[in-house]
Chain A
């Protein structure tokens, strides 16, 4: 009997964090022990793959036997032996470790284009990508298309920039093509910095060749011979895999001189970012590649006319570029069949927060938030009530639970006061304080402001100060109006996208959760019980058994009382750490 066995171990960011390397090692060891490679003459490979999506269940392992797929979740190295002996050798899957139904709904509503090959191809082996049809689009484009064909095809597909602003990619390429210059550049922006977002990382770690291919096709379209991948140094694995992929692409002569024996030559260099969030802004990114401090430059002139070293430059996001080979492969008509009228195709989101199935998802544009949260995401954790969904990271805003039927596309989200952004999606439940969340994001943008323009450097600081005051119970009358005036000013006068969008988290939370701000300011209370300084801990005498557990747990000696008699908390000594609340078995500690 000839059995074809493939074992895929998730080695995306989530998989590695959960111990994917150890699991893969364990598989290799036990397969060798069982002699599956040699004795049975079975074709068996175990390899590492990029993100499989459902990070909450990592480490995920797919076992394919004669193309029948079985998925295991929460795999630990010590579980591998049983999987090998019972399933791979014995042919009977280990039922209790299989991924359950929610796993199926997680994938059911998704439409994978960019992530389609993540989890299938081995990111460190170019052959694996070529077998899946990779570099075929490049060959076709380079040998039988003219650049205008490529631009037309991308324009027809309706692809828009996936980095946040949503500028039509085909139009950007066309403008760059028309810019007259002997030297042009194409840059892949892989400086993904939004807190909680890891779409680009997953694509590069899972399928780096799709990005390289996108760059080659883009370079051909605009007439560029030199490309850069600007990637943050905090992604060592992505950098490593990208380096391997570039080396292999050069060896196969997909990069370098006279690609596919045409007159077209193209080189790609990697530039490492030094950890500044603002370098994701295209003009700051250019300054950084040039060796300057990463500070944005005013636009116009736009990079498509004067970019890197004053030459026309196209900057595309990782996800945008990764879409390109698939659009060429399957046609613009196929691609534009997904999505809405103005937002075509799919978008990858990093689903995080208080949701059951966290992970990377790819959905067609125009899907409703409800579908994402309740079907793909499996609903809110612990049966709590959904409060809002934050999209677009520090540049985005909150969409309240009442607007759950909103379609996820560029226009609808913008209308609701948020953005698609790079694709962060944080689900918030009743235990999340909106003021505190706005404070978190403004803290982030303030710390990451480059300091060049006044409204961003000083304005965000003042915003942060007011929010800090409010969450400490020192809010004043008129603070909301002050926030609004500041937000408005910062938005309208800042130099770059960072400052212009920094007030969005505040504006959208004021828009939908104004009463929460008012409660903080007027009543000095935090309805979600998050803002520490506004909490008062007390002991409910009727419930207290006088066991003394809270007294032992209190780090500041604020709790006193005799055995078997109700205890007391001294509010002056209490540091509001919540230790007593957590340890009390009788729920006799009140928090208000």
Chain B
């Protein structure tokens, strides 16, 4: 453990911690924009500068590790002056259109501008002008709002391992872009959107649906796969308008494209809301087992009608009726052909508990070991 004083407060933290981490442990706040606790330090926004006794220059607390006996000052008039200076520079090259910005209310830059009371800008000058142009349905890139904190580049590289974006160009024209500045064409996991501190990266589906302060947040689990990421569903007027995930969750806030952007199915009119029982066509003698095949054949002839066409072969039923129906059929098969004629295949979208119950049911209630899971396929 290392002992150091921050703002006169003696604290003890493990070695290898940075000054910023130590300060946060001690409950001392230092403003940051480019820092993200799950990513390697960048040191580009220069807001977390602090004074360390014995070092002539101000150092960035996010990149400097603690050392024994270090004396740190996180806020002096000089430091605050420099922070305000840096913020003024960032805002001098920012659209400042918080009125219509998707991020307003949850924007780190807006929050700091408020805190440092920056109204007029002494350094106003040329602003970068870019046109939005990505054709993808998920991620909106508004490069004018980008403050070049590099979080998106880092998350794409360090967490996702995709490296779809990086810094391009030099000087004032530096920007985050894809190779050869082509349209974004990645797996659209949206991790970059999740870590962006400003409105530069937002979800296209979220546009104009509701900002953070007028939604109901519901914590739940992602329904897509057995990984079971914790998600927060943002609900407005009983409809999901956005999905996020907190840093404190076990999945550390990381999600994939399905979990983050694939929530529209919830309110889809095509969604099944009641059990369906297949209508067996009445034929003489044996039931016509080829009815389904002939249906497929018919579909081929009709140039692949949508799947919904099958609905004509089903009828809605109550849960009791549907479950009774399944139970009766299973019993019938078991009596006639024995339990090994039945096999169970469980879904990766089920939870552990559900999978446990399922195999118990197949083994104990049906009486066979023919049970498996789709994740093994």
Contact of A454 with B171 in the complex, beta carbons under 8 Å? no
Q: B70-90, CB under 8 A of A: which get 1 and which 0?
A: 000000000000100110011
Within 8 A of B (CB), among A232-260: none
The segment from A35-43, A295-303, A359-367 that touches chain B is A295-303
Determine if A166 is an interface residue (Cβ-Cβ < 8 Å). no
CB contacts (< 8 Å) of B119 on chain A: these are none
Contact of B148 with A465 in the complex, beta carbons under 8 Å? no
Contact of B43 with A451 in the complex, beta carbons under 8 Å? no
Contact of B125 with A461 in the complex, beta carbons under 8 Å? yes
Known: A298-B41, A298-B63, A492-B82. Contact between A451 and B92, CB under 8 A? no
Determine if A94 is an interface residue (Cβ-Cβ < 8 Å). no
Contact of B166 with A454 in the complex, beta carbons under 8 Å? no
Known: A293-B167, A461-B126, A493-B82. Contact between A454 and B172, CB under 8 A? no
Contact of A300 with B65 in the complex, beta carbons under 8 Å? yes
| Chain A residue with the shortest CB-CB distance to B124 | A462
| Chain B residue with the shortest CB-CB distance to A446 | B171
CB of A63, distance to nearest CB on chain B (Å)? 48
| Chain A residue with the shortest CB-CB distance to B87 | A454
Within 8 A of B (CB), among A456-497: 457-462, 465, 482, 485-486, 489, 492-495
Determine if A413 is an interface residue (Cβ-Cβ < 8 Å). no
Q: A425-463, CB under 8 A of B: which get 1 and which 0?
A: 000000000000000000000111111111101111110
Contact of B58 with A462 in the complex, beta carbons under 8 Å? no
Size of the chain A interface, CB-CB below 8 angstroms: 32
CB contacts (< 8 Å) of B167 on chain A: these are 293, 295, 450-452
Known: A453-B45, A465-B125, A486-B123. Contact between A492 and B148, CB under 8 A? no
A495 to B86 Cα, complex, angstroms:
12
Within 8 A of A (CB), among B86-100: 86, 89-90, 92-93
Secondary structure class of chain B's binding surface, majority of residues: loop
CB of A235, distance to nearest CB on chain B (Å)? 20
CB of B165, distance to nearest CB on chain A (Å)? 12
CB contacts (< 8 Å) of A462 on chain B: these are 89, 92, 123, 125
Pick the contact of B46 from A295, A450, A455, A461 — CB < 8 Å?
A: A455
Contact of A300 with B44 in the complex, beta carbons under 8 Å? no
CB of A408, distance to nearest CB on chain B (Å)? 24
CB contacts (< 8 Å) of A457 on chain B: these are 148, 171-172, 174
Contact of A461 with B172 in the complex, beta carbons under 8 Å? yes
Determine if B150 is an interface residue (Cβ-Cβ < 8 Å). yes
Most-contacted residue by chain B among A300, A451, A494 (CB, 10 A): A451
CB contacts (< 8 Å) of B93 on chain A: these are 458, 461
A12 to B148 Cα, complex, angstroms:
42
Known: A493-B46, A493-B82, A495-B44. Contact between A450 and B174, CB under 8 A? yes
CB of A182, distance to nearest CB on chain B (Å)? 21
Contact of B58 with A492 in the complex, beta carbons under 8 Å? yes
Size of the chain B interface, CB-CB below 8 angstroms: 36
Most-contacted residue by chain A among B60, B123, B174 (CB, 10 A): B123
| Chain B residue with the shortest CB-CB distance to A469 | B125
Pick the contact of A298 from B43, B90, B125, B173 — CB < 8 Å?
A: B43
Contact of A447 with B171 in the complex, beta carbons under 8 Å? yes
Pick the contact of A459 from B45, B89, B150 — CB < 8 Å?
A: B89
Determine if A113 is an interface residue (Cβ-Cβ < 8 Å). no
Known: A298-B41, A453-B44. Contact between A276 and B170, CB under 8 A? yes
Contact of B150 with A452 in the complex, beta carbons under 8 Å? yes
Known: A455-B86, A482-B122. Contact between A447 and B46, CB under 8 A? no
Contact of A492 with B174 in the complex, beta carbons under 8 Å? no
CB of A175, distance to nearest CB on chain B (Å)? 16
Pick the contact of A458 from B49, B59, B64, B92 — CB < 8 Å?
A: B92
Within 8 A of B (CB), among A296-324: 297-298, 300
A465 to B86 Cα, complex, angstroms:
17
Determine if B6 is an interface residue (Cβ-Cβ < 8 Å). no
Contact of A454 with B45 in the complex, beta carbons under 8 Å? yes
Determine if B241 is an interface residue (Cβ-Cβ < 8 Å). no
Determine if B169 is an interface residue (Cβ-Cβ < 8 Å). yes
Contact of B43 with A458 in the complex, beta carbons under 8 Å? no
Determine if B300 is an interface residue (Cβ-Cβ < 8 Å). no
Q: A285-300, CB under 8 A of B: which get 1 and which 0?
A: 0000000010101101
Known: A493-B58, A493-B86. Contact between A451 and B170, CB under 8 A? yes
Determine if B147 is an interface residue (Cβ-Cβ < 8 Å). yes
Determine if B271 is an interface residue (Cβ-Cβ < 8 Å). no
Contact of B123 with A493 in the complex, beta carbons under 8 Å? no
Determine if B57 is an interface residue (Cβ-Cβ < 8 Å). yes
A493 to B123 Cα, complex, angstroms:
16
A295 to B44 Cα, complex, angstroms:
10
CB contacts (< 8 Å) of A278 on chain B: these are 170
Pick the contact of A492 from B57, B65, B92, B123 — CB < 8 Å?
A: B57
Contact of B90 with A458 in the complex, beta carbons under 8 Å? yes
A465 to B127 Cα, complex, angstroms:
12
A278 to B65 Cα, complex, angstroms:
25
A-binding residues in B (CB < 8 A): 41-46, 49, 57-60, 63-65, 82, 85-86, 89-90, 92-93, 122-123, 125-126, 147-148, 150, 166-167, 169-174
Which 6 residue pairs of A and B lie closest in terms of their CB atoms, listed nearest first? A451-B174, A298-B43, A298-B63, A489-B85, A458-B89, A461-B172
A-B contact pairs, 23 of them (CB 8 A): A276-B170, A278-B170, A295-B167, A298-B43, A298-B64, A447-B170, A448-B171, A450-B170, A451-B172, A454-B44, A454-B46, A454-B89, A455-B85, A457-B148, A458-B90, A461-B126, A461-B172, A465-B126, A482-B122, A486-B123, A489-B82, A489-B89, A493-B46
